[in-house]
Amino acid sequence: MNNKVTKAIFPVAGLGTRFLPATKSIPKEIMTLVDRPLIQYAIDEAREAGITDFIFVTARGKSALEDYFDSAPELEKSLKAKGKTGLLEELRHTDMESGAIAYIRQREARGLGHAVWCARRLVAPNEPFAVLLPDDVIAGRVGCLKQMVDAYQEVGGNMVATMEVAPEQISNYGVIDPSGSNGRLVTAKGMVEKPSAKDAPSNLAVIGRYILRHEVFDALKEQKTGAGGEVQLTDAICAQIGKSTPVSGYRFEGNRFDCGSKAGYLQATVAFGLARAELHGEFRSYLESITHLPRAAE
């Protein structure tokens, strides 16, 4: 069985309503942390993990995503003429070679499971694939997906990224029902999508990184709806438990930011800004200055 993960699906069809009015004119995935859009962080993480084929599940109004990863000859020519080689190199890092990205339309918003199912024809039988949600930005010495790919080479099956979350947050996530653990790996005997705190089988939430076997598409094709009346990817993964393909949770090393929420996006902006050497001193000084100011609103 093929265990090499070289293909990744990026579900980017959402409307980004929590960031209106900004997302009226730009896709949420193009919103920037410092000077790079969210989608660039996801692409860079995927490249580090060995991904060579990228599948974007998009929707109407997402053409800016396609433009972002295209070449910009006039801009490149201008930067070259002005001797701005550093910026030119940064710009070229956003280019994707012809054929590396495929775009699939999700014609109706029916949930994450449906979005992944839309890409089924671009994944061969017996071919594992990754799924990355750009809303989840994970900062670490080694990328989250690279950590998962390394573990996947040893155990195979289906794998989801997981982390502990507070009880008051648990209803926002898919949650693992664990049966045992081995280091950073957790064996799942079940998964529940968005349970209440009292009904959650654990505090291990599923985060937006997945490595899945093709068999998941068999469960998704039934288009069964779950929590929120949507086709849930968690349900399709859970359907694999007890079959020949095990399901594991991987407790990744790194800090995760939920950039699908305004608070998480602001937290990520601060963290990534402070991590940049050319910004750290000035930005830190500013943050320290405002935290000592009286709270004018109180």
Return the HEC string of 41-63. HHHHHHHHCCCCEEEEEECCCCH
Q: Does 225 score more than 90 pLDDT?
A: no
Structure confidence by residue, pLDDT tens digits, 169-192: 999 898 999 988 888 999 999 888
pLDDT score, position 122? 94
Query: Does a structural domain hold residue 284?
Result: no
| Residue found by looking up tokens 């199912």 in the block | 117
Q: Is the pLDDT confidence value at 127 over 50?
A: yes
Domain annotation covers residue 70: yes
Do 138 and 38 form a contact (C-beta atoms < 8 A)? no
Sign of CA dihedral 32, 17, 198, 222: negative
Q: Is the per-residue pLDDT at 38 higher than 90?
A: yes
Domain that holds residue 79: 7-260
Confidence of residue 24 (pLDDT cuts 50, 70, 90): confident
Position 277 pLDDT exceeds 70? yes
The mean of the pLDDT values for the chain is 88
User: Considering the domain boundaries, does residue 178 fall inside one?
Assistant: yes
Instruction: Say if 277 falls within a structural domain.
Output: no
Length of the chain: 298
What is the number of structural domains in the chain?
Answer: 1
Is 63 within the bounds of a domain?
yes
Whether residue 271 is contained in a domain is answered as no
Q: Answer yes or no: pTM beyond 0.75.
A: yes
Task: For 52-89, write each residue's pLDDT tens digit.
Answer: 999 999 888 778 888 888 777 788 888 888 888 888 87
273 part of a folded domain: no
Q: Which run of H or of E encompasses 136? A: strand 136-139
Average pLDDT over residues 117-143: 94
Residue 297 lies in a domain: no
**What's the pLDDT at 84?**
85
| Residue 269 φ then ψ, to 5° | -60, -45
- CATH number of the domain enclosing 151: 3.90.550.10
pLDDT tens digits for range 133-182: 999 999 999 999 999 999 999 888 899 999 999 999 999 898 999 988 88
Least confident segment among 14-28, 83-97, 157-171: 83-97
Phi and psi at 283, nearest 5°, equal -70, -45
| Residues 186, 187, 190, 191, CA torsion sign | positive
Neighbouring C-beta atoms of residue 55, cutoff 10 Å: 21
pLDDT at 298: 47
